[in-house]
Structure 1
Amino acid sequence: MQKKTAKIIVVGSINIDLVVKSEHIPVAGETVTGQEFVMIPGGKGANQAVAAARLGAQVEMVGCVGGDPFGKQMLEQLTNEGVGTSYVLVDPQQTTGVALIQVQDGENRITVVPGANASVTPAHVERAKDVFVGADILLVQLEIPQETVMYAVQLAKSHGVKVILNPAPAAVLPDEIWPFVDLVTPNETEAVILTSEQIAGSDQAGIMNELRSLTKTDVIITQGEKGVSYHLNGVEGSYPAYRVNVVDTTAAGDSFNAALAVWHGESYTLEQSIAFAAKVGALTVSSFGAQTSLPTRQEVESFEGSFNK
């Protein structure tokens, strides 16, 4: 039973995803025929906001769209999903962020054009400071300027809001950010980039130790079909992934992070939150698209699956 309604702030990107499905992803100079093309609401920030709303949280989005039809479409999408958009600005000088996603056999390759996401500034976050009062969790990613991410985590900590940093897309971050982060959630590739390319050949335990030493925070590393490994409150462990038919991995990490935030915001432990998030991630990869694949609370609670071995 839900303990309380989690209050989540998402500071991040808002994109429109242009998705092509094909049997083969072309190499340089090659042209292939695709099987399907769709335009789907996306962006890591917007994905996490919509995922959290569908899972029962009260969500406020802080971001920016362009003054184009895509921007209007994304604002309507967020509003229809129950996400607060009072602090989603419209920059008429920019285009809305776009992600070109090529999907082959459930795996994807993504190219992102930030557009209006580059207009999410510290001043923009400061204007939204009232929503930090009484909030439970701040979710933030790296598809907006790093200086804005830094300002957002500092503002959150000053209001006693827990911070979950999903360091995607991967980037080296300044050491100054880590005292303001409670939990960092990279995938395997992002964990290597965060720590340094020098340990790219290290085993998972070595990467985890290096990341813990760097960040001094709780860490969850997502590993796709291998599940997750974690170091929480001084305790190391792992949790398996569910066995599902993988259709499209787009937004899997976003839904996992949103689920962590919602469950933890409802006063469950992070270990309990991982178990909930694993179900959400499994359901997400079982469907096509970003926000189109995000499950509802009812779908998650009725999900029964077996683990990968």
Structure 2
Amino acid sequence: MSELLMKLMEINGPSGYEHNVRAFIIKEIKECVDEVFVDKMGNLIAHKRGKGRRIMVAAHMDEIGLMVKKIEDNGLIRFSTIGGIEPISLIAQKVDIITGKGDVSGVISLRDLAGDELIEELPEINDLYIDTGLRKNELAIVGVKVGDYVVPTHKPTFLGNKKIIAGKAMDDRTGCYVLIKIIQNLKKQKLPLDVFFVFTVQEEIGLYGAQTSLYKIDPEWGIAVDTTNFNDPDLKVECGVGHGPILIAKDSEMIANKCLNDTLQEIARVKKIPIQVKVEEFGTTDASKIMMHKGGMPAAILAIPVSNIHTTISISHMDDIHNCILILEELLKNPPKSCIF
């Protein structure tokens, strides 16, 4: 079960560079649905035909990353962030620069401090650079140039608790994994819905893939499967890793459809699956674009709790991921009727 997720997490796919993730997913699902196609934006859409209402179930393929912005004369590389990343989390991280001639390894460093100088403020991106050990002319020879993608090199691994997985790109390869497993599990089952599983692009920089895919499939309601953070290692707040998937009732851009949320909670109650509810002040997901399509539609977010979110290595619990699959499978087999206007 976890081997597929680990393979997904290993693939490099920052926003705008999702093609390798997309190719991997196509191989996993092409025999399990009625149609697979890629739109002009790069979204991967898998259609499982049914006679009921059209539903969009979305997870984004892209991950956070960096891009080469400037190469100094001494060979140090300045970079821009792709998605929301706290600069302090990047210090001393090993990265690969993806070039047309192959990957070039480097380490992200902070400017040298003089003597006993202390850092009095959190570093900004302009305070950081990538050191490859190469001079500017040598970087040109190996193919490094402005606009190249930069990705972390952390391989996924299990921690002391073998149900807890850590690695890069957990946001949102866990969501992609959930969709893949649902597609595979329901391969031979007829559903009372016309389902479009959409693996979106460029979510991290503006939800662009979700927005454009909606014009093609024109759903009547939708669910986004994503990740969300929790902030208390002692689990003194309601939402924590290993305590079940999270329904996000509100984020910075939307309020989820209450009827859909109630339905998902009832499924969890009947199936005796732990589930959590969260009110978020920051961030949003593809669901905010789904909700605003045309005249608007019901939309909800089912998220997997992740610690160290939007860093080069995050942590999640396989039980939460598995339970997310169980809840969504039941929703697709027995969808609500009263929530859809």
The TM-score with structure 2 as length reference comes to 0.27
Structure with bigger helix share is 1
Relative contact order, CA 8 A, sep 6+: which one is greater?
A: 2
The TM-score with structure 1 as length reference comes to 0.28
